[in-house]
Amino acid sequence: MAQSLKNLAEFKNSMLSKPKYKMCRRLGAGVYEKCQTQKFVASEGRNKKDKKRKAPSIYSTQMLEKQKVRFSYGINERQLQKYVDMAQHQKTSPVSDKLYELLETRLDNVVYRLGWAGTRALARQMCSHGHILVNGKKLKVPSHIVSIGDTITPREGSRSSVLFTELPVRLKSYSSPNWLKTELGELKGTLSGVPKNVDGYLDLNTVLEFYSR
């Protein structure tokens, strides 16, 4: 029964709703994991050849970058504004770097980056349902900011759940970011460094320009 429910959940998760598909076409495949497929990329390639788009205005570009961040991390406008304010009030690093660090070290994103969930949405659900421990304590706040040295583990009572039973096998072919230290053969992750925006998909300086208007 449990396996059947899992298979059904995986089938539903593999389906991309029309609103999400439109959002991916507008903001790019990076906003949703389900858009990051060869089929979607090929489809977008054909659409770009068929359509000629006008150059976007500065405001439009800033708005699109802001929306990329919101939908990529699954946060609302108020939360993003809070992270921008927090980043602007520190003086230890460039504001864009600090903003990226705050977004990446959200508990739900850390769980996602560890490879424990296929999407940030699932990682957020795992956190809010109390499946995740931070330094041995259960937290139900997906937006909790994980600090360097914090250790992430599944709750003991959740290890037998379908969410975790097959993870050791799946994680053998997964590489977590270098700012996360993982224990080989053990479901345990530690924040060991500061996340860096190396892939450049998110233009956070443009986002900061939007909020500085």
pLDDT in tens, 25-78: 656 656 656 565 655 555 555 555 555 667 778 898 999 999 999 999 999 999
In the block, which residue shows the tokens 């799946």?
170
How many secondary structure helices (H) and strands (E) does the chain include?
A: 10, 5
Higher pLDDT, 4 or 192: 192
Q: Which one, of 105, 71, 99, 102, lies nearest residue 177 by Cα?
A: 105
- What's the token pair of residue 34? 């389900």
Q: Domain for residue 151, yes or no?
A: yes
What is the number of domains present in the chain? 2
- What's the token pair of residue 90? 């520190």
Would you state the pLDDT for residue 186? 86
Looking at the fold, whether 183 and 157 belong to one and the same domain comes out as: yes
Would you state the pLDDT for residue 45? 56
pLDDT, one tens digit per residue, over 63-102 is 999 999 999 999 999 999 999 999 999 877 799 999 999 9
Q: What is the mean pLDDT of residues 103-120?
A: 97
Looking at the fold, whether 125 and 146 belong to one and the same domain comes out as: yes
Looking at the fold, whether 203 and 128 belong to one and the same domain comes out as: no
Q: Is the pLDDT of residue 15 over 50?
A: no
Higher pLDDT, 23 or 67: 67
Domain range enclosing 83: 73-103+199-213
* The model's pTM: 0.78
Q: Domain for residue 153, yes or no?
A: yes
Q: Which one, of 198, 77, 191, lies nearest residue 145 by Cα?
A: 191
CA–CA distance, 180 with 16 (Å, rounded to integer):
29
Q: Domain for residue 55, yes or no?
A: no
Q: What is the mean pLDDT of residues 153-165?
A: 94
Q: What is the mean pLDDT of residues 4-15?
A: 44
**What mean pLDDT, rounded, does the chain reach?**
84
CA–CA distance, 100 with 127 (Å, rounded to integer):
21
Would you state the pLDDT for residue 184? 72
Looking at the fold, whether 175 and 204 belong to one and the same domain comes out as: no
CATH number at residue 129: 3.10.290.10
